Structure 1
Amino acid sequence: MKKTIKYIILTIILVQFTQCTTNDSNGLYVPPSDPVISHPNDIYLYANGGKSLFERYNTATRWRWNDNFIDPTQRATPIESDFVIPTSKLVDYLWIGPYTTSSNTAENFIKELFPAELVYIGSYIFNDDGTILLGYAEGGARVTLLNLNNLDFQNRNWLANPGGGVLATVHHEFSHIVHQNYGIPVGFNTISDTYLGNNWSNGVTRDDAIKLGMVRNYGTLNEYEDFCEIISHFLVVDQATFEADFITQQDCSTLTDADAIVNCRELNEGRKLIKQKVDLVLEFYKNNFNIDLEVVRDTLQARLTNLVATGVIPD
């Protein structure tokens, strides 16, 4: 299996918002032993003629219910058996595939950084305090995908909502794995002069975030969440919408209300900061991995559009 990794748990939590938290543990991550291949799902996941995630990346997929994957204070529903293979196809088609088809070296990038385990759970994870986990990653060792019993390939919101769609979740978490291993671009953390820490959730709107140079309120927590949110949005949000919301300068001269003019100008200044960050991230991926994230995005968006239109992932 992959190298032993210390637990650094990054959790996406929804309490009318999305949150990642990082906790350190002195214990070492030890993947569970490989399952007995007895079910058609397991044949697909582990012995699929060299095509499975296990055969290609040594990634074990856990879909049978195991109480150890949630805390005693949490509740969740197992994934329905019929959704296991479609979920794995989705992971391949819209997570791995856009990277591996982007350059002749991208396969090595995936082999190095793809998590050792994927855990599939049918519902969100509900905490006793009323919060809800949308999905989470554990130090690059395990990524847990949630709400899979609502799988709907023709529901773009379920797939690509930047505030909790399954693609937004996996690409956000995969970006954490990248920076845990390679850091973030030099200078990225100084482009914005203000991060809000835990105050990010105190009524911070998307416009507030944009004015600070972030694409989402949660990105104002720190430079690492900022990095992951920018990459996730860049890949999952369609290009025209991303550029209109976060890059393109609005013509403030058409406005007459003084407050609206100030707001417009502040948003434009924030968009300039976001553009600097996007440029740094694109350069970072090209220089470190020979990966063009614009190509990754274009491939993902084309595949996403096709999937929503047809409901079918090509073989």
Structure 2
Amino acid sequence: MKALNSIILSVLFATVAMVSCKKEKPLNLTTPPPGLGGDPVDIVNNPIDKWIYDSLTVPYNISVKYKFEPWEVAIDRTLIPPDTSKIIPQLSAINNICWQPYTDQTGSKTFVAKYSPKNFVLVGSWQYDYNGTITLGQAEGGSKISLFGLNFFSRLKKDSAIVKQGVHTIHHEFAHILHQNVMYPADYKSITGGYTATWFNTTDAAARKLGFITAYSMAGPDEDFVEMIAVLLTEGPGGYATMLKDAGAATSVGYLAIKAKEAKVVNYFKTIWGIDFYALQTKTRAAFVGFLQ
């Protein structure tokens, strides 16, 4: 009986061992779950995907990611995907107020298609940074732009500041791509000193007295240059003139510095890109006003 029990136990242990060693088919951990970045682009059944394809991918070779993909954003920030009802309105603002003026001014879609970032990542919330500032958008290597705060978008006139904020960000980042392809004149950097990493401790009005169109312009010469472009385009002549009042009298140091930077921007666009900047400014401002409801 003892021998029989030993045999039975041996068989049981062998069975358990066989079951324990059975290999399961490995899980595919590289494919995101549906709805979290794993859904393929569907231009047939998904109206958002079709709009993006027709309005951005075909004319400008731009792709847009709006479904949550954690590896596309900072993993140490709390961020949420965009409200899908905001996607086409926000992208329409970019098309109408950013790309179309360049297309009209240059006479074709080629300029935007060549120099625009090819990948957009849309995020519903703002990105709050550790120094107390908020990131509205960021460019990576001239090929990708992340745009934050989509869930706050509105094209109503009473919310015009929100529309302006979004297109300002795109003009800012697009200008970075332009100067990364062809650098602006080196003497631009010597128009004003006082660049600082703690620009956020200065108000816009105070920055203008020092010769910077916005406080963020003080972050460095590159930021200064592209902020001049973004402000001139989105504010138009009227809004820009109002900002200049903060700089002081027409003979003040701040006023003269900002006007010198404006002249550098206008000349850069003319000599490098063959673009009449003031005509582009007029078209951009008209597009902004016309977009609001």
CA contact (8 A) 1:207 1:267 kept: no
User: Quick one: distance in 1 between partners of 2:238 and 2:254?
Assistant: 18
Distance 1:111 1:268, change over 3 A: same
SS of residue in 2 equivalent to 1:214:
coil
1:292 to 267, 276, 282: 276
* Greater strand share, structure number: 1
CA distance in 2, matches of 1:58, 1:33: 22
- The answer to whether residue 127 in structure 2 is matched with residue 125 in structure 1 is yes
Identity of aligned pairs, percent?
A: 26
| Residues 75, 127 of structure 1: 8 Å contact kept | no
In the alignment, is residue 158 of structure 1 matched against residue 162 of structure 2? Answer: yes
| CA displacement at 1:127 relative to structure 2 | 5.0
CA positional deviation for 1:220: 1.6
- Structure having greater relative contact order (Cα 8 Å, sep ≥ 6): 1
Change in CA separation of 1:291 and 1:265 when aligned onto 2, cut-off 3 Å: closer
Q: 1:236 to 1:291 in 2, by over 3 A?
A: same
User: Residue 136 of structure 1 corresponds to which residue in structure 2?
Assistant: 138
Q: CA deviation at 1:210?
A: 2.0
Inter-partner Cα distance in structure 1 for 2:252 and 2:132? 37
> Which residue pairs with 2:78 in the alignment?
75
Normalising by structure 2, we get a TM-score of 0.78
| Alpha-carbon shift at residue 265 of structure 1 (Å) | 5.6
Q: Which structure 1 segments of 5+ residues have no match?
A: 1-31, 251-262
Gaps of 5+ in 2: 1-36
* C-alpha contact (below 8 Å) 1:63/1:119 kept by paired residues: yes
Q: Decide whether the 8 Å contact of 1:211 with 1:269 is kept in 2.
A: yes
Aligned length: 253
What letter matches 1:243 in structure 2?
A
Scaled by the length of structure 1, what TM-score is found? 0.73
2:100 is equivalent to residue 93 of structure 1: no
**Partner residue in 1 for 2:48:** 41
Q: Deviations over 1:146-188 (max 9, x none)?
A: 111222112211011xxxx111111111111111111113421
User: 1:238, CA displacement in angstroms?
Assistant: 3.3
1:98-247 alignment to 2 at 5 Å?
Answer: 98-104=101-107, 107-127=109-129, 131-154=133-156, 155-160=159-164, 165-192=165-192, 194-201=193-200, 203-246=201-244
Indicate how the Cα distance of structure 1 residues 186 and 146 shifts in structure 2: closer, same or farther if over 3 A, else same. same
Q: CA deviation at 1:43?
A: 1.7
Q: Which has the higher helix share?
A: 2
Checking the alignment, whether the CA contact within 8 Å between 1:200 and 1:217 is kept in structure 2 is yes
SS in 2 for 1:187: helix
Kindly tell me: are residues 218 and 36 of structure 1, through their superposed partners in 2, closer, same or farther at Cα, counting changes over 3 Å?
A: closer
C-alpha distance in 2 between matches for 1:215 and 1:244: 11
Q: Give the conservation status (yes or no) of the 8 Å contact 1:59–1:116.
A: yes
Distance 1:296 1:34 in 2: 39
CA distance in 1, matches of 2:131, 2:194: 27
Q: CA–CA distance in 2 between the matches of 1:222 and 1:146?
A: 22
